[in-house]
Structure 1
């Protein structure tokens, strides 16, 4: 165990405490806090567990982190806590990589099928009690580009391929013969390749290089009839450019689970577009996911207190856990 006293753990959770914390509470002095009390909770704390992973309060309270050695966030994305003060510190950053991979992949397959089989229109006609026979699309043989080649992107690629789609990836480095994607295009050359695909799925981490990568130029490069899916970060997309592109029919449709402003404002044109499927940042949230997030932290906490290397350590320069890491 590190040290002779129980470590001090600050948990940023607002009014919704994480479940199944009993074993951790027996091994640490736990301080549950909301955003307003974060500075007080951070003072003297060894560990910060950002259970409220949508909170942006950590940078403003950072000056109180006088003893902090480890910060864990209960999400795969780390952009809410990856600010200069943390980057420049010796504090280790870990995330919850692996929890949401399969659930998000299932969501993506679901919306691909929803577009191809025109489920939204069928539901509308059902409500109108209208019998209107239509022909729908096959997904077998269609081409999908997964932009983001981390664990979530790989799960998406494997599931789409199993459903009969041809899948490629886009990431930092171009390569061939990837076990999950086959071909991986360089993200810097994204617009060169977008026109070759029927489905474009955004799941890249949010970094300075990826912010706003889907802009008017990118959407104009897509093929007629293509659909766009965003399960990554809202800030990957220039929203006004997407709205304009959808009105112009390229892409022909979009399934959006994340937005640059959440909740999505009630006056957003996206709400009423017939070619848009909206979900409220829930693509990875399966029944029991909150318990699983605590299990991931608890396993890493046990490693920390027994002096073992932590898992899911984020490269603070890159903004994600490098491929091949534990």
Structure 2
């Protein structure tokens, strides 16, 4: 806490802070830093605002003395795996929040667009157009096709509702199997994943990256899929063993993929995914629609006011699970 009794807030960003930073500065003393300045700015701060999921050096900058570490860390993204290092997780007095709820509907629309693009071969149409080729061909219907959505949180649920409205048959994959789910109908538990993959025409990954989900789509999972199936990943690149996916696509054991996230971002120029047929590559943008930064700012400002008033925060992350759970979500 500063000498004026205001919280000391460190805002970590890549040069693009949240919109209207003066609104934050009216409530707290703010230090704007990049990763190279974080170690010097962080000791003694009350709050750390992490401006996205692309920062990898937070653990190296973290104060060795827990008394000098922030009491609240907010991540301006949904995924928080980059801040779940031991010192932060073990600190029982530290609250971690994220930006759950900002991206749900935008990502759901993006997934529907990707599935339509794959079914209608829109990449092929655009390629023929660039070459001025008039090449007639047939495309596929999406109505009645089976979709398995891996990840049953708010983003996965928004995807399920969007795809169901478009006429696809939707089921889910999560930690615990169940029937009668309002959005998914049937949710398959972890032990049922391989069988569920074999029934799906489209597999959509929208799960958080945790020790349990890392590499969930490996060679064994890919072999369980139908050769006519397509994979859509809007979750995290680490959910997929990328080399195994490339091999499956090259061998024709999978019909295609639409990938918005990757093990390494930006995707290296020499990655075979750029040129493989039936693959759509996008630069981690599924949820980034006009106005998303303003929505991020409003969420953080609401939580900052709650923090100052001693009220419960929104979107509290269960640090052991790695995501906002029902018992850690706040009001």
TM-score scaled by length of structure 1: 0.97
> Which position in structure 1 is the counterpart of 2:174?
171
The residue number in structure 1 matching 2:230 is 227
Residue matched to 2:150: 147
For 1:111 and 1:52, the matched residues in 2 are separated by 24
How far apart in 2 are the matches of 1:192 and 1:228? 16
Q: Aligned residue pairs: how many?
A: 326
| Superposition pairs of residues 40-55 of structure 1, within 5 angstroms | 40-55=40-55
Alpha-carbon separation, structure 1, partners of 2:243 and 2:140: 29
Task: Find the aligned partners of 1:21 and 1:312 in 2 and give their Cα distance.
Answer: 21
For 1:262, the equivalent position in structure 2 comes to 265
2:52·2:77 contact (CA, 8 Å) conserved in 1?
no
Point out 4+ residue stretches in structure 1 off by more than 6 angstroms.
none
Alignment partner, residue 320 of structure 1 = 323
SS of corresponding position for 2:73 = strand
Residue 75 of structure 1: how far off its partner (Å): 0.5
CA contact (8 A) 1:147 1:187 kept: no
Partner of residue 128, structure 1: 131
Matches within 5 A, 1:215-294: 215-294=218-297
CA RMSD of aligned residues (A): 1.7
1:87 equivalenced with 2:85 (yes/no): no
Gaps of 5+ in 2: none
Q: Is the 8 A contact 1:225 1:252 kept in 2?
A: yes
Q: Aligned equivalents of 1:127 and 1:183: distance in 2?
A: 43
Match of 2:76 in 1: 74
Deviations 1:184-219 (A, max 9, x none): 001233112111000000111111111111011101
TM-score (norm: length of structure 2)? 0.95
Deviation at 1:307, TM superposition (A): 1.3
Following the alignment from structure 2 to structure 1, what is the Cα–Cα distance between the partners of residues 131 and 33?
49
1:22 corresponds in structure 2 to 22
Instruction: Tell me if structure 2 keeps the 8 A contact 1:170–1:186.
Output: yes
Q: Structure 1, unaligned stretches of length 5 or more? A: none
Q: How far did residue 128 of structure 1 move?
A: 2.1
